[in-house]
Homo-oligomer: A and B are copies of this chain.
């Protein structure tokens, strides 16, 4: 895919950025990928759907270099007016449920329909556990080769907040690059589902056949977040337990209060490996988009999500700004010790620490 895009780009003529304001031509960039590349070129490349340029811009977003951060901001702001014309779908499920195969199947179905699909991931654990999702593109071999698909693994070595930020910003760039569907996969560790849920329009939970016992290990919060459950591997001998699981999950979902979206979560069967049931899942997602666009929830939710990330980012910054001061770190330890010795209360200690700033 990248190869084809590169040659497409080589054929492009007269990129409208003068060599004077921009010493880095696309040509020189092709010669040396390490060269800095001007924001204008990146923006234009993204809007012209150049995948190599898109990937380069995402690298800037992920960079910890302050110059890059500044450039990333310029690019994101330029892309914003061209973004938002997509459906953002979050996909979660325990390891072994077949997320990669499912994304391959859904991706194929969508590109067959003429859609362009970007696959991102929230995987803050990848640097620690090395159990990275998407890290190995070969797990989505077919999709990776597809011209209308773009797969980008999660940046590694980042906190959840960091990954969430880069993924949301990457979504904007992908949308500006004309991707119609953004699939955001999460490994289902810790708070990553909440993060993904707070950045997608539709949240899909993948499950395996064999309910009953299944309900045991289930994090109940995840079920509450789901707009639909797809029971994967519903094929062959699994079909009967899958149908049973479907009934159980339908019953379980009815126990939850109605969602703000007024959408009743669905439970569908599919077999990603055989490609069955995938079309129904996509049709259901379109029904969701239609219904929530009509009742105003679709845009309302996106605005609420922005507000959430705004507040979330500020709060997390306020905390790290405070607790990372050497003076506070030292005094915090002292105060915790004093609390354990019953010499002060948590509240008095908090007042004291706050007075130090």
Taking Cβ atoms with an 8 Å cutoff, the residues of A that contact B are 73, 76-77, 80-81, 83-84, 165, 168-169, 172, 215-216, 220, 255, 303, 305-310, 313-315, 317-319, 322, 335-336, 339-340, 342-351, 353-354
Contacts and interface: CB of A to CB of B under 8 A. Distances in A.
Contacts of A339: 303, 306-307, 310
Contact of A317 (B165, B220, B350): B350
Nearest to A313: B350
Contact of A350 (B73, B314, B322, B342): B314
A347 B313 contact: yes
A307 B76 contact: no
Contacts of A307: 336, 339, 346
Nearest to A164: B347
Given A255-B216, A303-B339, A345 B314 contact: no
Find the residue from A84, A169, A255, A318 having the highest chain B CB count within 10 A. Answer: A318
Given A306-B339, A310-B335, A342-B81, A348 B318 contact: no
A347 B81 contact: no
A100 to B, nearest CB: 27
A180 to B, nearest CB: 18
A246 B324 CA distance: 49
A308 B336 CA distance: 11
Pick the 8 closest A-B CB pairs, nearest first. A313-B350, A309-B346, A310-B346, A306-B346, A306-B339, A318-B318, A80-B342, A314-B350
Contacts of A169: 345, 347
Contacts of A346: 168, 305-310, 313
A336 B348 contact: no
A168 B169 CA distance: 43
Contact of A347 (B168, B322, B342, B351): B168
Contact of A342 (B83, B317, B344): B83
Nearest to A218: B255
Contacts of A317: 350, 354
Given A317-B350, A318-B354, 13 more contacts: A77-B343, A80-B342, A80-B344, A83-B342, A168-B345, A169-B345, A215-B255, A303-B339, A306-B346, A310-B335, A310-B349, A313-B351, A315-B318
